[in-house]
A and B are shown apart, each in its own frame.
Chain A
Amino acid sequence: MIKIQKQAWAEGLVKLRSDYELFGPVADKDAHEFKLLEQDQLPVLDIPNTRLSAKKTVFPQSQVMFSFSLAASNEDQSSVKVEGLDVKPRAVVGIRPCDAASFLLVKRNFDNPEYPDPYWISAYGQTTLIGFACDQPQQTCFCTSVGSSPYGEDGLDLLVAEDEDHYLAKSLTEKGDRLIEAAGWETGAEDAIFDERKDAAEAKISKKVATDRIKSCSAQDLFGASFWEEVAFPCLNCGTCTFVCPTCWCFDIQDEVKGTAGKRMRNWDSCMFPLFTLEGSGHNPRPSKEQRVRQRFMHKLKYYPDKYESDVQCVGCGRCIQLCPVNIDIRNVCDRMTQHLCITI
Chain B
Amino acid sequence: MELRETLRTAVWTLRAHKMRSALTMLGIVIGAGALVAVMSLISGLNRSVTAQFQSIGTDIISVSLYPWVQMGDVEDYRRRKPLTVDDARAVDELPSVGLMAPNVHTGRTVARAGHEMRGTLVTGTTPEYETIDNFTVETGRFITGTDVDRRRPAAVIGSDVAEELFAATDPIGRAISVGGRRFVVVGVLESKGKLFGESLDSLVIIPITTLEKTFGRRRSVVIDCSPAEGVAMERAVEDIRQLLRARRHVPRKEPDDFAINTQRDLLESYSRLTAVLFFAMIGIVSLALLVGGIGIMNVMLVSVAERTREIGVRMAIGARRRDVMLQFLVESVILTLLGGAVGMAGGAGIALVVKAATPLPAAVTAATVGIAIGFALVTGVLFGVYPARRAGRLNPIEALRYE
Q: Do A and B bind each other?
A: no
Q: Interface residues, chain A, CB within 8 Å of chain B?
A: none
